[in-house]
Amino acid sequence: MITQNLLEIRHVKKHFSVPKGLLHAVDDVSFAVKQGETLGIVGESGCGKSTLGRVILRLHEPTAGKILFKGMDITAFSKEEMRQMRQHMQIIFQDPYASLNPRMTVSQIMEEPLTFFRIYKSDRERKAKVAELMELIGLPQSASNSYPHEFDGGRRQRIVIARALAINPSFIVCDEPVSALDVSVQAQILNLMVKLQKQLGLTYMFISHDLSVIGHISDHVGVMYLGQLIEKAPKPAFFKRPLHPYSMALLSAIPSVNVLEKKEKIILKGEISSPINPQRGCRFAPRCPFAESICQEKDPEWTEVEAEHYVACHRAVELAKGLIHYH
Ligand SMILES: Nc1ncnc2c1ncn2[C@@H]1O[C@H](COP(=O)(O)OP(=O)(O)OP(=O)(O)O)[C@@H](O)[C@H]1O
Contacts of 101 (CB under 8 A, 6+ apart): 109, 148
**Where do the H-state alpha helices sit in the chain?**
49-56, 79-85, 106-116, 123-136, 153-165, 183-200, 211-217, 235-240, 245-252, 293-297, 316-320
Q: What CATH number corresponds to the domain at position 52?
A: 3.40.50.300
Give pLDDT tens digits for 18-44: 999 999 999 999 999 999 999 999 999
Number of domains in the chain: 1
pLDDT of residue 325: 86
- Taking alpha carbons only, the member of 89, 47, 26 closest to residue 225 is 47
Task: Establish whether residue 51 lines the binding site of ligand 1, counting it when its CB lies within 6 angstroms of any ligand atom.
Answer: yes
Q: Tell me how far the alpha carbon of residue 181 lies from the centroid of ligand 1, in angstroms.
A: 22
In the predicted model, what is the mean pLDDT of residues 114-124? 85
Question: Going by CA atoms, what residue is nearest to atom 2 of ligand 1?
Answer: 16
- Mutate which of 26, 50, 176, 229 for ligand 1? The one with the most ligand atoms within 8 Å of its CB, which is 50
Residue 270 is predicted with a pLDDT of: 83
pLDDT for 2: 61
Residue 207 lies in a domain: yes
Q: What's the mean pLDDT when you consider all of the chain?
A: 93
Give the pLDDT score at 97: 79
Ligand 1 pocket test: pick from 49, 91, 211, 213 the residue with the most ligand atoms within 8 Å of its Cβ.
49
In terms of Cα–Cα distance, which of 71, 56, 90, 83 is closest to 167?
A: 90
Q: Which residue has the least CA distance to atom 14 on ligand 1?
A: 48
22 neighbors 15 (Cβ within 8 angstroms): yes
**pLDDT tens digits, 168-206:** 999 999 999 999 899 889 999 999 999 999 999 999 999
ipTM of the complex: 0.97
Residue 26 Cβ < 6 Å to ligand 1 = no
pLDDT digits (tens, 9 = 90+) for 216-225: 999 999 999 9
Q: What is the pLDDT of residue 47?
A: 95
* Residue 215 is assigned to a structural domain of this protein: yes
Q: Is the pLDDT of residue 121 over 80?
A: no
Question: Which protein residue's CA is at the shortest distance from atom 1 of ligand 1?
Answer: 16
What average pLDDT does the segment 120-145 reach?
92
| 145 found inside a domain | no
Nearest ligand 1 atom, CA 207: 22
Ligand 1 pocket, residue 46 CB under 6 Å: yes
pLDDT value of position 205: 98
Give dist(CA 156, CA 96) in Å, integer: 6
CA atoms within 13 A on the CB side of 81: 8
179 occurs within a structural domain? yes
pLDDT at 25: 98
Whole-prediction pTM: 0.94
pLDDT of residue 156: 94
| Residue 19 covered by a domain | yes
What pLDDT is stored for residue 259 in this prediction?
58
Domain that holds residue 227: 5-88+169-242
Q: Is 210 within the bounds of a domain?
A: yes
Q: Ligand 1 mean position to 319 CA, how many Å?
A: 31
Report whether residue 25 contacts ligand 1, using a CB cutoff of 6 Å: yes
Give 46 Cα–ligand 1 centroid separation in angstroms: 5
What tens digit of pLDDT does each residue of 241-274 get? 999 999 999 998 887 655 556 667 888 888 888 9
pLDDT at 192: 96
Percent helix, percent strand, percent coil in the chain, to nearest 5: 35, 25, 40
Percentage of the chain surpassing pLDDT 70? 97
In a domain, 60, yes or no: yes
Residue 10 inside a domain? The answer is yes
User: What is the band of 154 on the pLDDT scale with cuts at 50, 70, 90?
Assistant: very high
Q: Ligand 1: does its nearest atom lie under 6 Å from the Cβ of 275?
A: yes
In this predicted structure, what is the pLDDT of residue 260?
57
> How confident is the model at residue 62, as a pLDDT?
97
Burial 302-314 (b: 16+ CB within 10 A, else e): beebeeebbbbbb
- The tens digit of pLDDT for each residue in 313-326 reads 999 999 999 898 88
Sign of the C-alpha dihedral computed for residues 104, 164, 13 and 248 taken in this order: positive
Pairing, β 38-42 against β 220-225: parallel
Encode pLDDT of 38-62 as tens digits: 999 999 999 999 999 999 999 999 9
